[in-house]
Amino acid sequence: MKVWATLKRDNKIYRETTIDMGFLLRSQGLDYQAMLHDVCEELDLSQPVVLKKHLNEIAGFSRVTFKPSDFMEAVDFDKLDIEIFYDKKKD
């Protein structure tokens, strides 16, 4: 599974990272808190407040968007987008 996180300002990506989280199928479930911790650590961000809306987005669409209002500290971007790319079955 790979996680792609982008920081956007004025609808342009100004920082991004891709994290390989190891082999994981969509049906196996994901520890969202651990994934978010790894993304925030890689981008040197504080963790955003995770609401039920965020969990529903990530579970249903494999992507989530966090806005500056979701962070306790001031941030210098317009949004943090996270997309999850699950692995296909092994042969």
Domain presence at residue 79: yes
**What is the distance between the alpha carbons of residues 51 and 13, in angstroms, rounded to a whole number?**
24
Please give the model's pTM, rounded to 2 decimal places.
Answer: 0.85
Domain presence at residue 43: yes
Domain presence at residue 90: no
**What is the distance between the alpha carbons of residues 72 and 47, in angstroms, rounded to a whole number?**
8
Domain presence at residue 55: yes
**What is the distance between the alpha carbons of residues 43 and 39, in angstroms, rounded to a whole number?**
6
Query: For the chain, what percent of residues have pLDDT higher than 70?
Result: 88
Beta bridge partners of 50: none
Enclosing domain of residue 57: 2-85
**Predicted pLDDT of residue 42:** 93
**Predicted pLDDT of residue 75:** 93
**Predicted pLDDT of residue 91:** 54
Average of pLDDT values for 43-61?
92
How many domains does one find in the chain? 1
Domain presence at residue 12: yes
Mean residue pLDDT of the chain comes to 87
